[in-house]
Amino acid sequence: SSLSADTTQLPTTVVKNMPDALAGIHMNFLLRSSLEIPNGSMQSALKQNEARFEVLGTIVPNLDFRVRWRLNRSQAPKSLDNSPGSIDIASVNYAFGKEKKWSIQVGKQAAFVGSWEFEKNPTFEYQYSEFVNFQANIFMMGMKLGYQINENHAAYLQLHNTYNEDFTQAHAIAGYSTNGNKPSKSPMGVYTTWRGKMFDNKFQTFWSYDISKFASGQWNHSIALGNKLVVDRFEVYLDLQTANLALDHPNIASPSVNNYRLRMNSGLKPVFANDLNYKSAILRVDYEFVDKWFITGKGIFEAASQTKNNSVIGRNFRENIGLLAGIEYQPIASQQMKMFGYYYHNKVNYKGEVKMANTRTNLNLFAVGILYFINVF
Amino acid sequence: SSLSADTTQLPTTVVKNMPDALAGIHMNFLLRSSLEIPNGSMQSALKQNEARFEVLGTIVPNLDFRVRWRLNRSQAPKSLDNSPGSIDIASVNYAFGKEKKWSIQVGKQAAFVGSWEFEKNPTFEYQYSEFVNFQANIFMMGMKLGYQINENHAAYLQLHNTYNEDFTQAHAIAGYSTNGNKPSKSPMGVYTTWRGKMFDNKFQTFWSYDISKFASGQWNHSIALGNKLVVDRFEVYLDLQTANLALDHPNIASPSVNNYRLRMNSGLKPVFANDLNYKSAILRVDYEFVDKWFITGKGIFEAASQTKNNSVIGRNFRENIGLLAGIEYQPIASQQMKMFGYYYHNKVNYKGEVKMANTRTNLNLFAVGILYFINVF
Amino acid sequence: SSLSADTTQLPTTVVKNMPDALAGIHMNFLLRSSLEIPNGSMQSALKQNEARFEVLGTIVPNLDFRVRWRLNRSQAPKSLDNSPGSIDIASVNYAFGKEKKWSIQVGKQAAFVGSWEFEKNPTFEYQYSEFVNFQANIFMMGMKLGYQINENHAAYLQLHNTYNEDFTQAHAIAGYSTNGNKPSKSPMGVYTTWRGKMFDNKFQTFWSYDISKFASGQWNHSIALGNKLVVDRFEVYLDLQTANLALDHPNIASPSVNNYRLRMNSGLKPVFANDLNYKSAILRVDYEFVDKWFITGKGIFEAASQTKNNSVIGRNFRENIGLLAGIEYQPIASQQMKMFGYYYHNKVNYKGEVKMANTRTNLNLFAVGILYFINVF
């Protein structure tokens, strides 16, 4: 099925007589372009939504490589990891042990966080949650140890950098005071992840727990429960996440807290907010209703809270809500090329004390375009 | 002939035993380097004139892709189209209808403006007019509908973004005041283009009309008539263009108008000039005078005018004139690798009121180097 | 042997049935990632040490091309050569003459300076001297004429840009006054280089002399003597260099001289120091002590002097010292993939008058990671 376009499977779209030298080697382009028409005074324009290049493969058994980069992102390296935002993946994976059940992947790689939204190939994901866009450090330097328990279940430990920028640079980019916080000597973390398949592969789990540090002595904890169901012409995922961040270095809800604090006391300096909790629920449904025609729907609900020490900020003070409905047409069965149209509604609401210092945002977007996951060879 | 190096044809340079998996797939590099020796105090140096990478092909009939990017241009995306200046092309082309006479190309693509100068592969075009360099938004997001009328004639409609930067960012980059202008809600336009072949393909037309908007309520109109003659060892193109820009967002002649205005009134703020007309005539001749040896000559004449409401700026107030003469040697018939030397003279003249506030520029450049359009496979 | 991984040889790692169309064509990735743990308050993190992409080959006899670029470096072009720091190599090489003993390489290329350290593929060189990192303009636009004297000896003349940035931009980046210096009209130089093989290829020389200009009328001279010994499972190189720079445009020792001058007279403006001499000795030893296991050691000693006109700055006023010891494991003989761990100590010392105005630096770094020179095809 064209639905199973996840990034962990090597594509085998058209059967061709592949020469020995290229067997196991793949070159891909990930393209998506669309005409976007937003509401209000925002400008309508043709947008380059995705443009990525990928080479991956297996030259000898048990040793894989994968390199993927975005063509529309600066290649200037970030301060902590010496890697630019343009590089998604540049890693080596080595399987070892009897029966090759163990593997170690080293290099720039995808965070192994329980998110089917993120796991989906970006060619096919029109609009992302703030969880994927900002909260999780989705492409990062890591070392991932894997163990294939049996045919259906695998467990992973992934050592990773918490963020791509170092403590000082992250504050400089945001224009924030460090507020007495100090950089962690080792701004890293560990994901513990379970990938499972059940009920004849119809149901798949992708569950993770992460512990990490950004500032000295301040621990972040997060749980992500990704669940996917694939039945016939129907595919649905539901991702549930909760994270307690000692310091809000992703800077999603901090601006609204700063607006509130500055309104109370205009002499304060803006800072990364402390002790935020982020929750998110993301649901996507895809259905091939007749041959070559698909409908897709997506719902995003995310909320930020600050409740520690009876904070006046309170529960769910900032909500991010997204709703998408779209239709897709795939004229050629062997090629993951789709013409699409979708409508997307997004709003950010504020509640409680924070509400008076922040204005809700509202986006209504209509888009029509073409996507193509090009498996060159 | 080595002359027909236009970018719309797939290269078939050396006949090799191509495996199935790569049939229809091409990888190219476009390289040109030279030692440039200018007159006056400008520094002589070895220059990387061109360095582009390209992958293009047809995996299944009726569906093509093409991606080409410059290796010596920042990958940071522009404000309106989310695409960097480094990406020339990242598009998908789908042919449809009975007999596949219809086609739709979506993504970053070449403006389908009537310019053989621009249509020529950049490996082989040493010096460009201001029309190609600045005036036309040559690589842009677009949706191009084509109809092949018969074997020799085709017609196209191309919806396109007017510019890569949005209204606010374009003003910020130039350091200009918006002068009371407002951004267009839809800063886009449409090219209507005719490509024709006549007289046994010896004469080819590439004519276009464009209407577009950049600022709210202000329409731009342009006509471009590209004409090409290929006879035996002789190739010549003559491109004629005229454009009326309601607002000079390409900012070619505005600096000289601002210099004049500020001299009249030093309290004024610089702005994009209104109601400019640009005209250009570009002629290039290539001739293989003996086997493997070519001479090439190019003439550029461009003029800007502001005549609306009897403007004091007047007709042809700024002229850009370029003259190039060169010699090329292609030692290996199958490979588009040439050693070259050329002389280029360029000057910018001012006339009328604007002349007193602007100094004419004068460039005499001698260059010697190597170019190679590398068809890797 | 896996030791001979120099960048001038085409890799032939795994024997595969290569189709005609790809015979002589190679695509490579150069990856190295590691967990770096430094001493003191510097942050530990996973680092992307190397991420480069390369395509090279020979499509017809006597004509080669090679393009290699870094994926983690900005693609914005530099002011003098129009080439970004990301591009290492983008050149064409053409062999000519009877018996094809002559060759001309044009484009971005490696400085043909006598440095086995630099000649080694960067995948395998963990830490560089300041000579390679800053002093030599290692990847630059050039035109290199070669003559193969006999099977074992070759001589080269390489015309090259002295620096990637022009005079004005180099000063602007450093924030320095031009100190009365003027830009050279032709900021270029020439390397004269000898490559030799002796004693049944066990001993190889790579010796060069360079003369170049950066500022008008101010000549730089340098001599570099690279020596390499390869015996069985043992490989060692010793590179010795000395350079007299009329103006210290690489800006290695100038900051410490400026600190001293400003301490003497706080009204002075920082400048590139005049008449510096840089010396360096770099030794690396690699030994495969049992199958698949390697030890590697490297020593770097570099010193800067200013002795002309009895300068108070004096001899060896700044020293850069580096010591590295590491172990490598290469599990698969055919694949240049290694797991490694190393310890690196680096310090910068100051002597004499300059000492009082500068603080010595001290780095102790432990690193563990994976490298893979991926010969995709």
- List all residues 6 or more positions away from B311 whose beta carbon is below 8 Å from its beta carbon: B275
Q: Which amino acid is at C222?
A: S
State the Cα–Cα distance between residues C207 and C113, nearest whole angstrom.
Answer: 7
State the Cα–Cα distance between residues A281 and A300, nearest whole angstrom.
Answer: 6
Instruction: Using pLDDT thresholds of 50, 70 and 90, give the confidence band for residue A16.
Output: low
Dihedrals φ, ψ of C259, to 5°? -55, -45
Measure CB to CB from residue A185 to each of C31, C44, C377 and give the nearest one.
C44
Taking an 8 Å cut-off on Cβ atoms, the answer to whether C143 and B46 are in contact is yes
Measure CB to CB from residue A90 to each of C31, C35, C41 and give the nearest one.
C31
Q: Could you tell me which chain A residue has the CA closest to the CA of C33?
A: A107
Alpha carbon distance, N-terminus to C-terminus of chain A: 20
What mean pLDDT comes out for the span B126-138? 95
Query: For residue A66, what are the β-bridge partners?
Result: A56, A91
Instruction: Say if strands A87-96 and A293-306 run parallel, antiparallel, or are unpaired.
Output: unpaired
pLDDT of amino acid A41: 86
**Residue where the block lists tokens 């450090």:** A137
E strand residue ranges, chain B: 25-38, 45-60, 63-70, 87-96, 102-110, 139-148, 153-161, 188-198, 203-213, 219-231, 234-247, 274-290, 293-306, 314-329, 336-350, 361-375
Question: Is C143 an interface residue toward B (CB < 8 Å)?
Answer: yes
CA nearest neighbour of A283 among A129, A174, A166: A129
Q: Could you tell me which chain C residue has the CA closest to the CA of B27?
A: C55
Question: Is B337 an interface residue toward C (CB < 8 Å)?
Answer: yes
Instruction: Say if strands C63-70 and C139-148 run parallel, antiparallel, or are unpaired.
Output: unpaired
Question: Is C294 an interface residue toward B (CB < 8 Å)?
Answer: no
Rounded mean pLDDT of chain B?
Answer: 94
Chain segment B253-269, per-residue pLDDT in tens: 999 999 999 999 989 99
**How many C-beta neighbours within 10 Å does residue B95 have?**
18
Running DSSP on this structure, what letter comes out for residue B143?
Answer: E
Where is A169: in which H helix or E strand? Answer: helix A167-174
Å from A106 to nearest chain C CA? 7
- Residue of A20, A68, A106, A159 best to disrupt the C interface, most CBs of C under 10 A: A106
Q: Which amino acid is at A142?
A: G
E strand residue ranges, A97-167: 102-110, 139-148, 153-161
pLDDT of amino acid C16: 58
How far are the Cα atoms of A192, A245, A249 from residue A212, in angstroms, in the given order?
12, 9, 12
CA nearest neighbour of A231 among A286, A179, A273, A308: A286
pLDDT of amino acid B20: 76
How is residue B308 written in tokens? 């609306």
Taking an 8 Å cut-off on Cβ atoms, the answer to whether C67 and B46 are in contact is no
What mean pLDDT comes out for the span A138-146? 97
CB contact residues (below 8 A), chain C span 84-113, against chain B? 84, 86-87, 90-92, 94, 96, 104, 106-108
Å from A122 to nearest chain B CA? 16
Chain A residues whose beta carbon lies within 8 Å of the beta carbon of residue C29: 55, 65, 67, 90
Percent of chain B with pLDDT strictly greater than 90: 90
Q: Could you tell me which chain A residue has the CA closest to the CA of B56?
A: A376
Chains touching chain A through at least 3 C-beta pairs below 8 angstroms are B, C
Where is B118: in which H helix or E strand? Answer: helix B116-119
- On the question of pLDDT at B15 being above 70, the answer is no
Å from B6 to nearest chain A CA? 23
State the Cα–Cα distance between residues A214 and C162, nearest whole angstrom.
Answer: 43
Rounded to the nearest 5 percent, the helix, strand and coil shares of chain C are: 10, 55, 30
Measure CB to CB from residue A19 to each of C14, C17, C70 and give the nearest one.
C17
Query: For residue B146, what are the β-bridge partners?
Result: B103, B156
Percent of chain B with pLDDT strictly greater than 70: 95
Chain C residues whose beta carbon lies within 8 Å of the beta carbon of residue A107: 31, 33, 48, 370
Chain A residues whose beta carbon lies within 8 Å of the beta carbon of residue C12: none
Measure CB to CB from residue A19 to each of B21, B83, B185 and give the nearest one.
B21
How is residue A123 written in tokens? 């060619």
Instruction: Using pLDDT thresholds of 50, 70 and 90, give the confidence band for residue B5.
Output: very low
Chain A residues whose beta carbon lies within 8 Å of the beta carbon of residue B55: 27, 29, 376
How is residue A183 written in tokens? 């950089």
Q: Which residue did the predictor score with more confidence, A332 or B14?
A: A332
Residue count (chain A)? 377
Chain A residues whose beta carbon lies within 8 Å of the beta carbon of residue C51: 67, 83, 87, 90, 108
For the segment(s) C20-49+116-137+165-375, the CATH number from 3.30.70, 2.40.160, 3.40.190, 2.30.33 is 2.40.160
Å from B369 to nearest chain C CA? 7
Taking an 8 Å cut-off on Cβ atoms, the answer to whether B17 and C19 are in contact is yes
- List all residues 6 or more positions away from C65 whose beta carbon is below 8 Å from its beta carbon: B29, B31, B372, B374, C56, C57, C59, C91, C92, C93
Q: Could you tell me which chain A residue has the CA closest to the CA of C26?
A: A21
Question: Is C188 an interface residue toward B (CB < 8 Å)?
Answer: yes
Question: Is A45 an interface residue toward B (CB < 8 Å)?
Answer: yes
Q: Are C292 and C330 in contact (CB under 8 A)?
A: yes
What mean pLDDT comes out for the span A241-267? 95
State the Cα–Cα distance between residues C5 and C227, nearest whole angstrom.
Answer: 16
State the Cα–Cα distance between residues A295 and A343, nearest whole angstrom.
Answer: 12
Chain C residues whose beta carbon lies within 8 Å of the beta carbon of residue B331: 94, 96
Q: Are C71 and C52 in contact (CB under 8 A)?
A: yes
3-class state of residue A125 by DSSP = coil
Give the HSE-up count for residue B238: Cα atoms under 13 Å, Cβ half-sphere: 2
How is residue A48 written in tokens? 């380059």
How is residue C187 written in tokens? 């900021």
CA nearest neighbour of B304 among B280, B287, B322: B280
Dihedrals φ, ψ of C201, to 5°? 70, 5
Question: Is B25 an interface residue toward C (CB < 8 Å)?
Answer: no
Chain B residues whose beta carbon lies within 8 Å of the beta carbon of residue C82: 47-49, 72
Angle at C135 between CA B368 and CA C256, to 5 degrees: 135
Q: Are C33 and A91 in contact (CB under 8 A)?
A: yes
How is residue C136 written in tokens? 């030599």
Question: Is A161 an interface residue toward C (CB < 8 Å)?
Answer: yes
Instruction: Using pLDDT thresholds of 50, 70 and 90, give the confidence band for residue A22.
Output: confident
Alpha carbon distance, N-terminus to C-terminus of chain B: 20
Where is A281: in which H helix or E strand? Answer: strand A274-290
- On the question of pLDDT at B16 being above 80, the answer is no
DSSP output for C65-102: EEEEEETTS--PBPTTTS-BTTEEEEEEEEEESGGG-E
Torsion of CA C118, C121, C123, C128, to 10 degrees: -10
CA nearest neighbour of B337 among C82, C62, C110, C25: C62
3-class state of residue A190 by DSSP = strand
pLDDT tens digits for chain C (377 residues)? 333 334 444 444 444 566 777 888 999 999 999 999 999 889 999 999 999 999 999 989 899 999 999 999 999 999 999 999 999 999 999 999 989 999 999 999 999 999 999 999 999 999 999 999 999 899 999 999 999 999 999 999 999 999 999 999 999 999 999 999 999 999 999 999 999 999 999 999 999 999 999 999 999 999 999 999 999 999 999 999 999 999 999 999 999 999 999 999 989 999 999 999 999 999 999 999 999 999 999 999 999 999 999 999 999 999 999 999 999 999 999 999 999 999 999 999 999 999 999 999 999 999 999 999 999 99
Measure CB to CB from residue B72 to each of C80, C87, C185 and give the nearest one.
C87
Instruction: Using pLDDT thresholds of 50, 70 and 90, give the confidence band for residue A182.
Output: very high
- On the question of pLDDT at B6 being above 90, the answer is no
Q: Could you tell me which chain A residue has the CA closest to the CA of C49?
A: A82
Å from C19 to nearest chain A CA? 7
State the Cα–Cα distance between residues C242 and C303, nearest whole angstrom.
Answer: 10
Helices (H), chain C: 116-119, 130, 167-174, 254-264
- On the question of pLDDT at A165 being above 90, the answer is yes
Taking an 8 Å cut-off on Cβ atoms, the answer to whether A29 and B108 are in contact is no
Chains touching chain C through at least 3 C-beta pairs below 8 angstroms are A, B
Domain A20-375 listed as CATH 1.10.260.40? no
